[in-house]
Amino acid sequence: MRIFKGIAASEGLAKGKALVHHHASLAAEKQHILADGVPGELAKFRSALQTAKQTLQEHDASNISRESKDILETHLLMLEDPEYIQQIEAYITTNLVCAQWAIDSVTSSMVALLEQTDDDLLRERAVDFKDVSLYLIDAIKGKGQRRMEHLSEDVILVADILMPSELFAMDKTHILGICLDGGGRASHVAILVRAFNIPTVLAAGGASKTVNDGDEIIVDGTYGEAFIRPDHTVSQMLDERYALWQQHELELHQMAGLSTTTTDGHEILLKTNIQTSNEVEAAKACGASGIGLFRSEFLYMESLETPSEERQFQVYKQIIEAMAPKPVTIRTIDIGGDKVVSGLGIDEKNPILGWRAVRFCLSRKDIFTVQLRALLRASVYGKLQIMFPMISGVEELNAVLHLLEHVKGECRSEHIPFDPDIKVGTMIEVPSAALCADILAKKVDFFSIGTNDLIQYTIAVDRGNEKIAYLYQPFHPGVLRSIRMIIEMAHQNNIPVSLCGEMASDPFCSVLLAGMGLDELSMGSQSLLQVRKILRSVSYEEAKKLAEHVLSMDSYLTITTYIREWMHDRFDHFTTI
């Protein structure tokens, strides 16, 4: 028996015979052509574009989820991308090579550039371009490379990697589970397997090199484990695990329609963080009190071009309408730092402390005002709140508020309707903003604490640096005292304060944060029901006593140990961390 540990990408348990698939992308033929052969190769390429589009549209016409349709639409947009098409045609004409070679060369260059970034979303775009190039080369060759379109028996698919196009094309009625050597939870394959309800483990190392066709395999997509040729004891253990998981899921789903109210009647609002419109349905399904953070910068990161006002307006409108009458908080562009957007000239030696977020926006008012116009236009379709990121002091806050008022004036003069009572807030994620929270609170309608950056700036630790990762401590006394101070300053000025960093989704932080007086917590929808169950199981008085005791401690090690023991004493039957 072999056990492979990976990433739990799609929950559930599946057992069956393995079908091993080693990915072999279609090899592009590398042929030089004469000048008079250029028109023929251009014609082949344009014909391949139409064939590939038709193939995608056939998938799109089938009964698939909204998330799956969005991925197909992304691929269709890539096939219509004028820059991508022009580069391939220019490569054929300039280098006198066949269409396949041009497609492969241009795509490889784009992929290499995207794969150099530290951003998961941009690396996923690299996979999309690879996939689109396979469609094109497949269309030119006139034959398919997939061998899983028609399966005669149920199987567990074990592969090194898997392209979204392959997943669309395969016979999913016979795919019981999937185990991949690579991949990440944010990848399109991960999104698709969840949409198709296929239990899946990603990043399982060299599983595909160990498994043989026909081997018995169990995939646990809840715990992120794959068991190759399991013995009787393991099979029995997994049956018991699956029964417990089903019971746990049933208990959590019962939380969806309930408020997050402590046993003594104190309510904390739980909202969700999203980065695409696809995630709205999940937010509604878990009973979120609204969207606490929409990361609008992903609109800029998913395209090779800066999104137009109309494109932004349509996305904002869709989300606001879908969540109405619950509020949607949209954070203005937070690019720079670890969020790289091509074509905007952000390339710095020290990007974390550099030209990013509101600093970029105030320098590029041409881009920022377009977003503000789109936001104001969308505000009439529900309850929109605008939030500015990385404000370091009152000067920056005054500047963005002045610019917002200017854009409002433009809309009035052009008779463009918007919500005149739209609420405006700021993120508190820079120590200087925390120290000036009493000043900033007089100028906005709400605060949202961004602990991801607040922690790294407060402790002076790069959260992406593995060498000092141990220093990144949410329970550091300096961090907790900053959070308490921000909450006190907000409440003294009669404005609510939320927390939207990763701390909000950590079950071990939930009671402490509630006890510190936060009005709202905002997190990924997958964490919300777990946090709700915890907070509904304690009294607010208990939570306040916990916070008071913890804030008297002097070491993050002491605090971490105490919090974990406190939580496990009360919630060990359903906390799994």
Active-site residues, by number, are 188, 500
Q: Which two tokens stand for residue 576?
A: 């799994």
User: Is residue 477 helix, strand or coil?
Assistant: helix
Distance CA 335, CA 357 (A): 5
Q: What is the DSSP string of 228-285?
A: ES--HHHHHHHHHHHHHHHHHHHHHHTTTTS--B-TTS-B-EEEEEESSGGGHHHHHH
Q: Which two tokens stand for residue 476?
A: 């550091």
Q: Which two tokens stand for residue 181?
A: 């050597």
For residues 164 and 131, the answer to whether their CB atoms sit within 8 Å is: yes
Consecutive H or E run containing 379: none
Burial category of 50 from C-beta neighbours within 10 Å (exposed 0-12, middle 13-18, buried 19 and up): exposed
Q: How far is CA 454 from CA 19, 432, 558, in A?
A: 47, 10, 21
Distance CA 490, CA 61 (A): 51
Q: What is the DSSP string of 54-106?
A: HHHHHHHHSS--HHHHHHHHHHHHHHT-HHHHHHHHHHHHHHTB-HHHHHHHH
Q: How far is CA 254 from CA 3, 257, 259, 557, in A?
A: 33, 7, 11, 35
For residues 422 and 385, the answer to whether their CB atoms sit within 8 Å is: yes
Distance CA 289, CA 523 (A): 11
Residue type, 259: S
Number of Cβ within a 10 Å radius of residue 76: 16
CA angle 290, 296, 301 (to 5 degrees): 140
Burial category of 394 from C-beta neighbours within 10 Å (exposed 0-12, middle 13-18, buried 19 and up): middle
Distance CA 399, CA 407 (A): 13
Residue type, 219: V
- Beta strand segments in 287-407, E: 291-295, 327-331, 383-388
Distance CA 68, CA 195 (A): 7
User: Is residue 139 helix, strand or coil?
Assistant: helix
